[in-house]
Amino acid sequence: MTVSSSLDWLTRGTSDLFPHQPDSQEPRENLTQLLQTTDRPLRIKLGIDPTGSDIHLGHSIPFRKLRAFQDAGHIAVVIIGDFTARIGDPTGKSEVRKQLTIEEVRANAENYLAQLRPILDFNTPNRLEIRYNSEWLGKLDLSQILELLSTMTVGQMLAKEGFSERYDKENPIFLHEFLYPLMQGYDSVAVEADVELGGTDQKFNIAVGRDLQKYFGKKPQFGLLLPILIGTDGSQKMSKSLNNYVGLRESALSMYSKLEKTPDVLLKDYYELLTNLPLDAMPSNPREAQKQLAIEVVAQFHGEEEALKAQKTAQEIVLQGNTEAAASVPEFSLAAVTFPLKLFYLLSATGLCKSSGEGRRQIQGGAVRIDSEKITDVDKSFETAEALTGKVLQVGKNKFIRFVA
């Protein structure tokens, strides 16, 4: 099979690759060698644990790498973990996860796939397989499950990060949770994966897949690990619960507004992981780099025209105080709060500030405006929702929401 002489797309943003013996001529020890000598498309596996319904930019990173493999002529094998999701991946969890119903898992999976369409190639023939692991895991009988369990020891399982911490803290670990890494690993056997992608927190599970492939007489897969994206706060991993995320379903304006204030320290990582732009072409001026990054990422999901429109709207709101442009500003329903209430509490409730205390400080610093009017009264309060409906609340230059009833 002919591949591009440049494999920069393979190493870009990659945290770890195993096995990795760059001087070896053996294709199963050196992925570059395998890519250059294979006579067939490789099967690149990435699993989805559909325990939630929304994807953010942090989740998109392994799918972007999967798309790079597709563009190089290989087959993306997306595993919908409809069976394993009933257990829930225990990786990084301090307690047992709630088991989902089949209906919940299927609904989440459909939502996931819809959000992935701007990233993956769904159209080129023979470039994408979507598989549900209930197809093979649901058929395992007790003797086969016992065989799977016999391939690992309790000591090996307890060495897994998360399990070991819970064991040390005497937090319960249920036997069905031990099955998760084995089931994810068996997915690699079932689909005959050549490469499995995952975050850096998935190394244990991917290594189990290699071991099981060897056990069942298959060629073992490579593991390619990608970094966990730091959120827009610049300090913690991107997470909806921490409100430092950019969701793939957000409006163009909302995405642009968050990305154009990416902390300077994260700009290189965001360029490398979220765009295909040459890193040496990143503007040296951080403000210009923020704008270019925001345009590029928003265009991936909404198109270049909508991205440029979002940039223009954001500039009008921030620089000109044009609240007529607020029709496309992210909305906040006032039905979610109880009146009367203080402005500093509202700043926290809307997510524009992390806490009421931060809200107070922003007001004192003169950073808070309502319909372009600066608010300096820390104890400013509102008696009814009608006093705010339709108005734009702004913090700093780039954070704003529009109130709706």
For residue 170, what is the DSSP state? T
Instruction: List pLDDT tens digits, range 58-95.
Output: 999 999 999 999 999 999 999 998 888 776 555 554 45
| C-alpha span between 58 and 115 (Å, rounded) | 13
Q: For the residues 33-42, what does the mean pLDDT come to? A: 95
Range of the domain at 169: 8-226
Q: Is residue 5 scored above 50 in pLDDT? A: no
Instruction: Answer yes or no: is 68 within a domain.
Output: yes
Instruction: Answer yes or no: is 1 within a domain.
Output: no
Same domain, 168 and 21: yes
Same domain, 139 and 64: yes
Same domain, 16 and 155: yes
Domain termination residue (choose one: 282, 305, 323): 323
Chain-centre distance for alpha carbon 86: 21
At 136, list the tokens: 């093979």
When divided into structural domains, the chain yields a total of 3
What average pLDDT is seen over the chain?
88
CB 272 within 8 A of CB 279: yes
CATH number at residue 84: 3.40.50.620
Instruction: Answer yes or no: is 238 within a domain.
Output: no
Same domain, 15 and 141: yes
Instruction: Answer yes or no: is 112 within a domain.
Output: yes
Q: For the residues 308-325, what does the mean pLDDT come to? A: 71
Same domain, 265 and 187: no
**Distance of CA 35 to CAs 45, 70, 194, Å?**
15, 13, 11
More confident residue, 402 or 98: 402
- What is the pLDDT at residue 177? 82
Same domain, 400 and 259: no
- What is the pLDDT at residue 98? 64
Q: Is residue 233 scored above 60 in pLDDT? A: yes
Instruction: Answer yes or no: is 241 within a domain.
Output: no
Query: Which of these, 91, 61, 17, 66, lies nearest to 275 by C-alpha position?
Result: 61
CATH number at residue 343: 3.10.290.10
* Cis preceding-peptide flag for 90 (omega within 30 of 0): no
Sequence-separated (6 or more) residues with CB below 8 Å from residue 332:
350, 393, 401, 402, 403, 404
Same domain, 53 and 152: yes
Instruction: List pLDDT tens digits, range 119-145.
Output: 999 999 999 999 999 999 999 999 999
Domain termination residue (choose one: 304, 323, 342): 323
- What is the pLDDT at residue 119? 97
Same domain, 114 and 201: yes
Instruction: Answer yes or no: is 391 within a domain.
Output: yes
* Cis preceding-peptide flag for 263 (omega within 30 of 0): no
Same domain, 337 and 316: no
- What is the pLDDT at residue 174? 82
CATH number at residue 319: 1.10.240.10
Q: For the residues 363-371, what does the mean pLDDT come to? A: 89
CB 223 within 8 A of CB 18: yes
Same domain, 312 and 372: no
Q: Is residue 113 scored above 50 in pLDDT? A: yes
Share of the chain above pLDDT 70, in %: 92
Instruction: Answer yes or no: is 18 within a domain.
Output: yes
Same domain, 319 and 338: no
Q: For the residues 253-257, what does the mean pLDDT come to? A: 87
- What is the pLDDT at residue 170? 83
Q: Is residue 52 scored above 80 in pLDDT? A: no
CB 401 within 8 A of CB 393: yes
- What is the pLDDT at residue 294? 96
Q: Is residue 106 scored above 70 in pLDDT? A: yes
Q: Is residue 96 scored above 70 in pLDDT? A: no
Tokens 């060495």 sit on residue? 159
Q: What is the value of pTM for the model shown? A: 0.77
Q: Is residue 296 scored above 90 in pLDDT? A: yes
Instruction: List pLDDT tens digits, range 217-229.
Output: 999 999 999 999 9
Instruction: List pLDDT tens digits, range 172-207.
Output: 888 878 888 899 999 999 999 999 999 998 999 999
Q: For the residues 21-43, what does the mean pLDDT come to? A: 94
The HSE-up count of residue 240 (CA atoms within 13 Å, CB side) is 10
CB 381 within 8 A of CB 341: yes
Rounded to the nearest 10°, the torsion over CA 304, 308, 309, 315 is: 160
Domain termination residue (choose one: 277, 298, 323): 323
Span of 8-17, 43-52, 158-167, 258-267 with lowest mean pLDDT: 158-167
Instruction: Answer yes or no: is 102 within a domain.
Output: yes
Same domain, 314 and 349: no
Cβ of 373: how many Cβ atoms within 10 Å? 10
